[in-house]
Amino acid sequence: MNRPLAPNDTSSFWMPFTPNRDFASDPRLITAADGMYYTSHDGRQIMDATAGLWCVNAGHNAPRIVEAVQKQVATLDYAPHFNFGTPQAYELSSRLASMFPDGMDHVFFTNSGSESVDTALKIALHYHRMRGDAARTRLIGRERGYHGVGFGGISVGGIVKNRMHFGTMLTGVDHIRHTHDPERNAFSRGCPEHGAELADDLIRIAELHDPSTIAAVIVEPMAGSTGVLLPPKGYLQRLREICDRYGILLIFDEVITAYGRLGRASASEYFGVKPDIITTAKGLTNGVIPMGAVIVDSRIYNSAMGNADAPIELFHGYTYSAHPIAVAAALASLDTYREEDLFARADGLAKRWEDAVHGLKGLPHVKDLRNLGLVGAIELESRPGAPGARATEAMKEAWRQGLMIRVTGDTIAMSPPLIITEAEIETLFSKLAGILKGID
Ligand code: PMP
């Protein structure tokens, strides 16, 4: 059908994670972007306070990335990586290996966070089989965890609405308790003091099943999409110790936290905890081209290589694994992060950001404020009978006032491009304060 796109025409596009029925009456359409700002279809500048969906870490239209993609598409548009390869994919994987904790030296390329998660879960199961420990088949996630929308991801994920309409999920999956404890930790600056002991819930589950049946546990070191839930101090270290005690692999889902969001290359580095597998996507290419990467400890890779009987060591991969244009975007993104020293920049702004987030304390309906690196969350009291309504109204009003924020349930989340200036932080939070004052 060749119809011109009307600004409110949502009849054919089935929008992801969006109330499709309502969108047409109040569409928010974007036509261009540059740096910290989008242009809306009615010609307004909209500050991007969410880096798209936590991905545009270097800001929009970063010149080096745009140029690299343009050049790549005109040189080598596509090449398969089953039995063939490109030099750039090798370069990218060794650069990534050097960015993640020592010993995490192998990289499997995917096209999204969801694919990275499913790949990581499969690699974990494969690893135990290759070691002759085929009984380890159970996977453990965490309540309220978000690990994308593949069947693996929603099975280990713990967001009820993302699971409830989709049947039985993977079998042999359990969930440890989430760490959100507003009673003890509300308005904490950075990671909360209370709750490291919640990691011991893994002991409960391990002992319930017989620990030798558990393959892996997957958590977001900082849970983003579920409403920015921060790990209590010492929690991740304790999880690591328990995994070691029982021979369970620890997977960190760093789709949001890798590539600078916490002022480091990874949350693993930020927290000083080394998992066995790290899933990434988003900031890998600055959001410009879809791509994910799973970073794997060498002993896991070597276990697969040790299987001399298998003609192919891992029967897994995607048509677009290491897509040349995505690889070009990723290399240029890493160059941009390094040349503009963006991770250190984010780290340097984190205190200013924290003060700005907590400056909203006392505004109407503000129930909790959370921050880490350049991530902020405002949790609002639910409107009786209409959970999520206040945050959604705030998001719509913010758009009208030239600001993009993100909503999950009653929580407003912010994660600006790492190029945000102090003046823009001021503008963002004074606008937000005004918006919150107007919500009843
Ligand atoms: N894992 C985490 C921690 C995420 O935050 C997301 C996306 N927000 C995903 C996985 C899924 O990524 P994608 O949408 O690229 O599939």
How confident is the model over 40-89, as pLDDT tens digits? 999 999 999 999 999 999 999 999 999 999 999 999 999 999 999 999 99
Is the pLDDT at 389 greater than 80, yes or no? yes
Q: Give ∠ CA 416-419-424 in degrees, rounded to 5.
A: 65
- pLDDT at residue 2, rounded to an integer: 39
The mean per-residue pLDDT over the stretch 146-173 comes to 97
Which residue has its alpha carbon closest to ligand 1 atom 13?
113
Q: Kindly state the DSSP code that residue 212 receives in the 8-state scheme.
A: G
Check residue 86 and give its pLDDT: 98
Dist. CA 255 → ligand 1 center (Å): 6
Give dist(CA 391, CA 411) in Å, integer: 6
Q: Residues 272, 92: contact at Cβ < 8 Å?
A: no
Report how many helices (DSSP H) and strands (DSSP E) the chain contains, helices first: 16, 15
Is the predicted ipTM greater than 0.95, yes or no? yes
Q: How many CA atoms lie within 13 A of 35 on its CB side?
A: 7
Summarize pLDDT for 120-144 with one digit per residue, the tens. 999 999 999 999 999 999 999 999 9
- Can you tell me which atom of ligand 1 is nearest the CA of 145? 3
CB contact at 8 A, 375 and 224: yes
pTM of the model: 0.97
> Using the 8-state DSSP alphabet, how is residue 178 labeled?
P
Q: Which amino acid is at 422?
A: E
The rounded Å distance from CA 415 to ligand 1 centre is: 14
- Ligand 1 atom at shortest distance from the alpha carbon of 290: 15
Q: How far apart are CA 44 and CA 308, in angstroms?
A: 60
Q: What is the pLDDT of residue 192?
A: 98
The predicted pLDDT at position 3 comes to: 42
- The pLDDT, as a whole number, for residue 237 is 98
Residue 3 Cα to ligand 1 midpoint, Å, equals 33
Per-residue pLDDT at 310? 75
Instruction: Give the span between the Cα atoms of 138 and 154, in whole angstroms.
Output: 15
Q: Average pLDDT of the chain?
A: 96
Numbered ranges of CATH 3.90.1150.10 in the chain: 20-58+341-437
Tell me, in angstroms, the distance from the centre of ligand 1 to residue 371's CA: 19
The Cα-based distances of 416 to 48, 301, 391, 404 in angstroms read: 6, 35, 18, 10
Q: Which atom of ligand 1 is nearest to the CA of 115?
A: 16
Fold held by 67-339: Aspartate Aminotransferase; domain 2 (3.40.640)
Domain 20-58+341-437, CATH class in plain words? alpha beta
Spatial distance between the Cα atoms of 411 and 389, rounded to a whole number of angstroms:
10
* CA 114 / ligand 1 centre spacing (Å): 6
Q: Whose CA is nearest to atom 1 of ligand 1?
A: 147
CB atoms within 10 A of CB 259: 31
What are the structure tokens assigned to 348, written together? 């340097």
Q: Where in the chain is the domain with CATH 3.40.640.10?
A: 67-339
Among the ranges given (20-34, 244-258, 265-279), the one the predictor scored with the smallest mean pLDDT: 20-34
Distance 124 CA to ligand 1 centre (A): 19
pLDDT at 20 over 70: yes
Pocket lining for ligand 1, CB < 6 angstroms: 53, 112-114, 117, 146-148, 220, 224-225, 253, 255-256, 281
- Work out which ligand 1 atom sits closest to the CA atom of 254: 3
